[in-house]
């Protein structure tokens, strides 16, 4: 079981802040593919991957990162400074 956390507009599009899921996905990219097939809300949230950042166990990673040992995966828009 992996905790998946959504922030900002990703959360708004998915419709919930977090969920615990079981997946056979081996990478972040495969997880995203699984999620987009679940519901149109997920497809809308992940339609433009250039606007999504991901962290596995609170470490910023790429989409090809393995998730077999992950406890938490977080999706969020890019950070802006100021």
Least Cα distance to 36 among 50, 54, 49 occurs for: 49
Distance of CA 25 to the CA centre of its chain: 12
Q: What is the pLDDT of residues 36-79, one digit of tens each?
A: 999 999 999 999 999 999 999 999 999 999 999 999 999 999 87
Asked whether 76 and 7 are in contact (CB, 8 A), the reply is yes
Domain ranges of the chain: 2-76
Q: What is the CATH number of domain 2-76?
A: 3.10.20.30
pLDDT value for 51: 94
Cα torsion 44, 15, 12, 30 to 10°: value is -50
pTM over 0.75? The answer is yes
pLDDT value for 78: 86
pLDDT value for 81: 56
Q: Would strands 53-56 and 2-6 be described as parallel, antiparallel, or unpaired?
A: unpaired
Rg (CA), the chain: 12
């Amino acid at each position: 079981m992996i905790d998946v956390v959504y922030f900002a507009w990703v959360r708004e599009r998915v419709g919930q802040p977090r969920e615990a899921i079981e997946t056979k996905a081996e990478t972040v990219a495969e997880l995203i593919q699984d999620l987009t097939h679940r519901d149109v809300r997920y497809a809308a949230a992940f339609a433009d991957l250039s606007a999504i950042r991901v962290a596995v166990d609170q470490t910023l990673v790429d989409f090809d990162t393995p998730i077999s040992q992950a406890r938490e995966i977080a999706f969020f828009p890019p950070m802006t400074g100021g």
